[in-house]
Amino acid sequence: MPEDSIAHIDFEALKQKAISAPVVEHIYTADPSAHVFNGKIYIYPSHDIDAGDAFDDLGSHFAMEDYHVLSMETPDGKATDHGVALHVTDVPWASKQMWAPDANEKNGKYYLFFPAKDKQEVFRIGVAVSESPAGPFVPQVNPIADSFSIDPAVFKDGDGSYYMYFGGIWGGQLQRWRKGTFEASQPESPFAHLPLDNEPALCAKVAKLTDDLLEFAETPKDVMIVDENGKALLQGDNNRRFFEASWMHKYNGRYYFSYSTGDTHFICYAIGDNPYGPFTYKGVVLNPVVGWTTHHSITEYNGEWYLFYHDSSLSKGVTHLRSVKVAKLQHNTDGTIQTLDPYVQ
């Protein structure tokens, strides 16, 4: 929802209309990546802290310096905050802005995948490891080689392969890697290096991970989202094109790539036949929430599907500090997803 709309919202009325309540209220959490490990739901969110800076399109107003892990016995149960799982001061290569993370499990070990700016103010993606899904996590000394941008999402396929989807435009810097190396611009602008509106939109990257989940096993490839005619979505199609917040889930043997449209505030999805795509655009998962950003995950628990997302209703829009929420998600018989409205009309 646009910045200038926040001041006119009746937040008490909005609370009554919301389809779900914040999972925790003692801290601000956002960008939830939810997984089921050992029969319990674990949520890996970012941690919103107001930096005291003016709101901008680069995210400078968020002083996101650590990660907390939340767990729930059931989607409608009470959430437990397991405390700080990783702090930026623990990461040798990182300087600031620990944005949206993800996690996964292999052979009894748990891996936290996270973006942060390095000492040169370039976003990289790191990995930290723990014996427990709740952490604490011990980071690798260096980020993943040749990693860049933000919003890692790691999907485990049925054959035991793991794939990382990542990338975000504007403050996420994806557009600054179009030529294969980081393009600096002074002063920094989120609109520099973007394609023209009539050109194919930038999209996420995907790469299979090595067996130890610590590096890319291949050069990252472009994810392609196409329309019903098989044509790539264009940059100017900002109600459908990718902006950030990749997620992958599998339903009835098909691959569902979902993502945020960013400045138009939709969570959309596209369906493909393999982890690399192409993915055909199918529709909207979640309509806009209160707050500038939208970011999500989709997870199965006991045969039911759930959408984890965030909004800024708890903070009443102040600096867009966000809170994680969860709602049940329905797939139709044809495989499409029923669109959720975050507030009852």
The alpha carbon of 61 is separated from its chain's Cα centroid by a whole number of angstroms, namely 18
Largest CA distance in the chain: 51
Query: Is residue 4 over pLDDT 50?
Result: no
pLDDT classification of 190: cutoffs 50, 70, 90: confident
The residue type found at 236 is: G
Angle (CA) 6-11-17 rounded to 5° is 115
Q: Of the listed 65, 105, 237, 244, which one is catalytic?
A: 244
pLDDT of res. 58: 59
Active site residue 31: yes
Q: What percent of the chain has pLDDT over 70?
A: 93
- For the beta sheet containing 40-48, the strands, ordered from the edge strand earlier in sequence to the opposite edge, are 28-37, 40-48, 66-72, 79-87
pLDDT of res. 228: 97
Query: Is residue 31 over pLDDT 90?
Result: yes
Active site residue 304: no
pLDDT of res. 318: 67
d(CA 47, CA 38): 24
Query: Is residue 320 over pLDDT 90?
Result: no
pLDDT classification of 7: cutoffs 50, 70, 90: low
pLDDT digit string (tens) for 272-285?
999 999 999 999 99
The residue type found at 46 is: S
Residue listed under structure tokens 């980071």: 139
Q: Of the listed 31, 102, 105, 237, which one is catalytic?
A: 31
Q: Does domain 3-329 have CATH number 2.115.10.20?
A: yes
pLDDT of res. 51: 65
**Which residues make Cβ contacts (< 8 Å) with residue 5, sequence separation at least 6?**
none
pLDDT digit string (tens) for 122-168?
999 999 999 999 999 999 999 999 999 999 999 999 999 999 999 99
d(CA 340, CA 327): 9
Q: What is the mean pLDDT of residues 316-333?
A: 90
The structure tokens listed for 141 are: 């000394």
The one-character DSSP state at 320 is G
pLDDT digit string (tens) for 39-87?
999 999 999 987 665 555 555 656 799 999 999 999 999 999 999 999 9
d(CA 326, CA 311): 11
